[in-house]
Amino acid sequence: MTSPPREHLIQTSFFNLNDVTRWVRENSSRPIYPYGKFYYYEQILKVPTYVIFDPATPVLEVRQLQTEHYELQTLNDQDRYWVLAL
């Protein structure tokens, strides 16, 4: 019995390989050109609060710029994130 072609496995899996590759390229912390999105926001634009929401899981990540790098924030006792700018 022969196994299905590799393309078939990629297309029928729960994720699309092209989407994963694009996400990694856009959201990486790549410090050389072309910069990753995470690096660009953290080191070049220096955005004070970086929020990522993944509707598939659903997971919300809130990061605050501390000195030179983002730090992942934790929920407070009311299950909320404190965002100073808001």
Q: Residue 33, SS3?
A: coil
Q: What is the pTM of this model?
A: 0.61
Segments forming the whole domain that contains residue 57: 47-86
Is there a single domain that holds both residue 2 and residue 41?
yes
Give the closest residue to 51 by CA, choosing from 59, 62, 43, 66: 62
More confident: 39 or 22: 39
Q: Is the pLDDT of residue 86 over 70?
A: yes
Q: Is the pLDDT of residue 1 over 60?
A: no
Residue keyed to tokens 């919300």: 60
Is there a single domain that holds both residue 12 and residue 28?
yes
Is there a single domain that holds both residue 24 and residue 63?
no
Is there a single domain that holds both residue 41 and residue 51?
no
Is there a single domain that holds both residue 23 and residue 8?
yes
Is there a single domain that holds both residue 36 and residue 55?
no
Is there a single domain that holds both residue 24 and residue 55?
no
How many structural domains are present in the chain?
2
What tens digit of pLDDT does each residue of 23-82 get? Answer: 665 667 777 777 788 888 999 999 999 998 888 888 899 999 998 899 999 999 999 998
Strand partners, 49: 64
